[in-house]
Chains A and B, each alone.
Chain A
Amino acid sequence: MTTTLASTDLDTPFTIVGRAFRSRLMVGTGKYRSNDEMVRAIEASGAEIVTVAVRRVDLDRTKEAGILYHLDPRQFFLLANTAGCYSTDEAIRYARLGREAGFNEFVKLEVIGDKDTLLPDVDGLLQAARTLAREGFAVLAYTNDDLVTALRLEDAGCAAVMPLASPIGSGLGLLNPFTIRTIKRRLSVPVVVDAGVGTASDACVTMEQGVDGILMNTALAEAADPVRMATAMRHAVEAGRLAFLAGRMPRREVAVPSSPLEGMLD
């Protein structure tokens, strides 16, 4: 009888500031067609860390109730974000509100610098990261794929650095494997690729670079079938992670036969 090893037997847990997670896939909760579909997709993804945004309560009740009405905070680790913030002060304000609304000291820090690309304001991001880290937050900083910025974010006390694969919501996949590999090689804190993954192969290739995890939202929410895509992403993240740990064969620009040359018939 054969025994199939679970991927958890072949990998170590994903750990951020002492908290261990089985899944290396983190997912967002935005843009789903329905809350029911969102919950089913998140469950299918196997993700434990789930991002949420802080927004005003709709006092006219024209919209659905808050996300906690649909997601059980005992089942998922809720990671509040500062999405939509364009300044240091605004991001810090949202982070504090998120900590108050939430259940942990983690924050996914975004300070956006450009409306068209949603690329980060690196200067504002570093300032906000320093302040929040001093206040005891575990800061997971969304940033571009720039090594020097990533190193500065680590120095600022970030718990994890989250370079993008490509712009938020673009689905363009991993545009620069080299920069992501370089960041991973040089940082001590976890590196989680955040944004840009479009389909399962993108997630797999990203994990093959050796990063610690991936955070995605639109790839699931805008898939024609989010539950199937979430399942595919779960497998892709595990496959890419295991392939990285396994170590790939060398690339050769010549063929090397797999079958013996000896024993051929005359």
Chain B
Amino acid sequence: MVPPSFSLNARADIFLFVTELRITVNGDPRSVTGPATLADLLQHLSLDPRAVVVEHNREIVRRPALEVTPLRDGDLVELVHFVGGG
């Protein structure tokens, strides 16, 4: 996949500059190179979008929306899945 920063599709209009985004993922601070979407973040973390649920600033983002949801500086991202429990 062509990185979004070099793509010429409509999304490129949203991202004018390559920036460093400081976000929080599962409670830990992280830096990602922007522009980036939630789908890019999952890919960067080698996570299969089908295996996780993404919460972005307290809102659940469904799978089809991951590719069109841009990350912004200061975003809070939670990536959860099912584990053993009673």
A56 touches B78 (CB 8 A): yes
A67 touches B84 (CB 8 A): yes
Interface presence of A53 (CB below 8 A): yes
Enumerate chain A residues within 8 angstroms of B78, measured Cβ to Cβ.
56
B53 touches A101 (CB 8 A): yes
Which secondary structure dominates where chain A touches chain B? mixed
A28 touches B85 (CB 8 A): yes
B80 touches A57 (CB 8 A): yes
B83 touches A53 (CB 8 A): yes
Closest residue on chain B to residue A195 by CB atoms: B86
Interface presence of B60 (CB below 8 A): yes
Enumerate chain B residues within 8 angstroms of A253, measured Cβ to Cβ.
none
With A and B bound together, what is the CA distance between A52 and B83 in angstroms? 6
Question: In the complex, how many residue pairs between chain A and chain B have their CB atoms under 8 Å apart?
Answer: 92
What's the nearest-Cβ distance from chain B to residue A221, in Å? Answer: 8
B60 touches A97 (CB 8 A): yes
Which secondary structure dominates where chain B touches chain A? strand
Q: A97-B53, A100-B62 are in contact. Are A53 and B79 (CB under 8 A)?
A: no
Interface presence of A31 (CB below 8 A): yes
Contact among B27, B58, B82, B84 for A101, CB-based, below 8 A: B82
Q: Which of B62-78 contact A (CB under 8 A)?
A: 62, 78
Contact among B58, B60, B82 for A53, CB-based, below 8 A: B82
Interface presence of A45 (CB below 8 A): no
Enumerate chain B residues within 8 angstroms of A52, measured Cβ to Cβ.
82-85
Contact among A66, A169, A217, A218 for B81, CB-based, below 8 A: A66
Interface presence of A80 (CB below 8 A): yes
Interface presence of B13 (CB below 8 A): no
What's the nearest-Cβ distance from chain A to residue B51, in Å? Answer: 6
Give 20 pairs: A residue, B residue, CB < 8 Å, sorted on A. Answer: A28-B86, A29-B84, A30-B84, A31-B84, A52-B83, A52-B84, A52-B85, A54-B53, A54-B80, A54-B83, A56-B78, A57-B80, A59-B45, A65-B51, A67-B84, A68-B51, A68-B82, A81-B85, A97-B53, A101-B82
